[in-house]
Amino acid sequence: METLDDYSQSGGVEAYQAFVAGLEQPESHKNAAWLTTVGNATAAGKRMYRVHVLSRPLTDYLRFELSWGYQRNMTAGEEFFILDTTERDNPIPEAPDFWMFDDRAVGVMAYDATGKYLGSEFVSAEDRLTEFRSYRDTALVHAVPFTEWWAQYGE
């Protein structure tokens, strides 16, 4: 689950700067290690997907992430969904950014006001897992596949 409009201080800074400047994608971005991670996981039968809660107009960072990052990661098998809150209320306004692993553990992400990653707290207590499963399930019910959303709103 991604909920922020700007992660520009959390990695990929060189690629983001190139995007904003209208330059070509750096080779380091095109061939990021994440692609191997995703490819290995999906080849092993794992499903890797995320939902991004956002509203339009897109920030520069979201334009970068969706056009360069999501498009690139899809080639390795990662799936993306968009929960667009531009014309409706967010059904999960209290949901933080998190990763869920095999439906058994959750890493709750922490960021500062500039989008800099500060760390994660892992939770595995059943009541907390139920909470995060609910966030995930609600997000997926209200989200649309990225490619469908991008065809309509991509820049």
| Residues 137, 119: Cα–Cα separation, whole Å | 24
Give the domain range for residue 56.
Answer: 13-153
Closest C-alpha to 121, from 90, 98, 152? 98
What percentage of the chain reaches a pLDDT higher than 90? 91
pLDDT (0 to 100) of residue 12 = 86
For residue 116, give every residue at least 6 positions away whose Cβ sits within 8 Å of its Cβ, in sequence order, or none.
9, 10
Q: pLDDT band at residue 124, thresholds of 50, 70 and 90?
A: confident
* DSSP code, position 113: T
pLDDT (0 to 100) of residue 114 = 87
Q: Quick check: is 61 in a domain?
A: yes
Q: Which residue matches tokens 């520069």?
A: 60
Q: Domain with 106 in it: what CATH number?
A: 3.30.870
pLDDT (0 to 100) of residue 133 = 97
| Residues 22, 20: Cα–Cα separation, whole Å | 5
| Residues 12, 32: Cα–Cα separation, whole Å | 9
Mean pLDDT, the chain, rounded, equals 95
pLDDT (0 to 100) of residue 110 = 96
Q: Is the pLDDT of residue 155 over 80?
A: no
pLDDT digits (tens, 9 = 90+) for 80-101: 999 999 999 999 999 999 999 9
Q: Quick check: is 25 in a domain?
A: yes
pLDDT digits (tens, 9 = 90+) for 30-62: 999 999 999 999 999 999 999 999 999 999 999
Q: Quick check: is 4 in a domain?
A: no
Q: pLDDT band at residue 5, thresholds of 50, 70 and 90?
A: very high
Q: Is the pLDDT of residue 11 over 90?
A: no
Q: Which residue matches tokens 């990763």?
A: 99
Q: Quick check: is 40 in a domain?
A: yes
The tally of domains found in the chain comes to 1
